[in-house]
């Protein structure tokens, strides 16, 4: 039986969280094309441990594709990727999740027929009941773990004002609520690094502000974030450094001030978006 099935997620030793200085997640010359279209063109990028790294760029720049490649959802054509110094090429998404890497999706992918609380519990890494035999022979342990997971889920949901909707099927939530659920669900995994794909799209200004505070607090506790975001206020307030992607490549990186004053960046945006 594979390790992640035996409830070994909480085995932190092989997690790359502690590698403080070196870049935690990095891509070197990653190429990914769809048919003839090159979505990532030798993309190189480092996400330092305990940073909140921002990733911006015009639509179609390849930002979401980069996250897909990092998370093992899409296989790159070439290039290398590492997590905490470990080569992660060819790992499945669930194996990467076991290593502490989790992502959210640009278009919310809530599990609609599951209730909010079920969405949360699904992501809980300590679940002996993942294995059917333990369910039958050690139901007590499964129950204890579930109540602990519910308590943890409750704390996370209360932060984003979703606890009162815990019993609601996730499909009934609003767009913004789905986004918040997805982020909370990712946090259930106790990840070391979270990749957020446009987390504030459709989220109210008040919630966006709260979300920013939560992200900063978690970063201070040791988490690493990479955030794709279109809202420049969010980027300016949270992210350092910021990478600019255009046409599948890293155009530049730096602080918000550096990026904002760069002419190439303005050009990439104006050339594409306008």
Partner 1 sequence: MISFIVLMSIVICFSAILALALNFQWGLGGMVNFGLAGLYALGAYACALLMLKGGFNTFFATIGAMVIVGVISGLVAFVTLRVAEEDYFAIVTLGVGEMLRLVALNEDWLTRGALGLSGIPRPFGELVPAEYYAYFMLAISAMLVAATVWFLNRVARSPFGRIMRAVREDDVVAATLGKYVLWARVRIFAIGGALIGLAGSLHAFYYQYIDPTQFSTIVIAYAFMAVIAGGRGAHAGTIIGAAVVMVLLEGSRFAKDIIPWLDSDQLSAIRIIIIGVGLILLLIFRPQGFLREYRLQVELK
Ligand X SMILES: Nc1ncnc2c1ncn2[C@@H]1O[C@H](COP(=O)(O)OP(=O)(O)O)[C@@H](O)[C@H]1O
- Minimum distance from residue 123 beta carbon to partner 1 (Å): 4
- Minimum distance from residue 132 beta carbon to partner 1 (Å): 5
Tell me: does residue 150 bind partner 1 (CB under 8 A).
yes
Range in contact with ligand X (rule: CB under 6 A) among 13-21, 61-69, 91-99, 254-262: 61-69
How far is residue 165's CA from residue 143's CA, in Å, rounded to a whole number? 22
How far is residue 42's CA from residue 153's CA, in Å, rounded to a whole number? 39
How far is residue 192's CA from residue 128's CA, in Å, rounded to a whole number? 22
- Picked from ligand X, partner 1, Mg ion, none, the partner binding residue 220 (CB below 5 to 8 A depending on kind) is none
Tell me: does residue 146 bind Mg ion (CB under 5 A).
no
Tell me: does residue 200 bind Mg ion (CB under 5 A).
no
Kind and range of the H or E element at 48? strand 37-48
Tell me: does residue 225 bind partner 1 (CB under 8 A).
no
Instruction: Give every strand in the sheet of 242-246, ordered side by side.
Output: 101-103, 193-197, 224-228, 52-56, 242-246, 249-254
| Cα→Cα distances 251→108, 228, 266, Å | 28, 15, 11
Kind and range of the H or E element at 164? none
- Picked from Mg ion, ligand X, partner 1, none, the partner binding residue 109 (CB below 5 to 8 A depending on kind) is partner 1
Tell me: does residue 176 bind partner 1 (CB under 8 A).
no
**End-to-end Cα, the chain, rounded Å:** 53
Tell me: does residue 64 bind Mg ion (CB under 5 A).
yes
How far is residue 238's CA from residue 147's CA, in Å, rounded to a whole number? 34
Which residue in 17, 25, 142, 227 binds partner 1 (CB under 8 A)? 142
> Which stretches of the chain bind partner 1, using CB under 8 A?
1-2, 4-5, 9, 71-73, 92-94, 97-98, 102-103, 105, 109, 111-115, 117-118, 121-125, 127-132, 135-136, 139, 142, 146, 150, 154, 163-164, 166-167, 169, 185-186, 189
> Which stretches of the chain bind ligand X, using CB under 6 A?
34, 39, 57, 59-65
């Amino acid at each position: 039986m594979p390790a992640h099935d035996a409830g070994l997620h909480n085995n932190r030793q092989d997690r790359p969280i502690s590698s403080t200085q070196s870049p935690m997640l990095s891509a070197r010359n990653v190429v990914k094309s769809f048919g003839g279209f090159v979505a990532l063109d030798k993309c190189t990028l480092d996400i330092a441990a305990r940073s909140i790294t921002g990733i911006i760029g015009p639509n179609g720049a390849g930002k979401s594709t980069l996250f897909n490649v990092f998370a093992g959802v899409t296989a790159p054509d070439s290039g290398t990727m590492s997590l905490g110094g470990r080569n992660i090429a060819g790992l499945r998404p669930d194996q990467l999740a076991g290593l502490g890497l989790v992502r959210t999706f640009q278009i919310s992918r809530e599990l609609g027929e599951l209730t909010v609380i079920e969405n949360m519990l699904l992501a809980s890494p300590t679940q002996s009941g993942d294995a059917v035999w333990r369910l039958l022979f050690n139901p007590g342990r499964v129950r204890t773990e579930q109540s602990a997971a519910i308590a943890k889920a409750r704390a996370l949901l209360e932060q984003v004002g979703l606890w009162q909707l815990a019993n609601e099927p996730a499909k009934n939530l609003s767009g913004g609520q789905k986004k918040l659920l997805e982020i909370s669900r990712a946090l259930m995994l106790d990840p070391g690094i979270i990749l957020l794909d446009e987390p504030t799209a459709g989220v109210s200004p008040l919630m966006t502000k709260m979300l920013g505070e939560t992200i900063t607090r978690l970063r201070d506790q040791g988490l690493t974030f990479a955030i794709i975001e279109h809202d420049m206020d969010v980027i300016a307030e949270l992210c350092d450094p910021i990478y600019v992607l255009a046409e599948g490549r890293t155009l530049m990186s730096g602080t918000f001030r550096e990026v904002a004053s760069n002419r190439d960046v303005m050009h990439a945006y104006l050339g594409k978006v306008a």
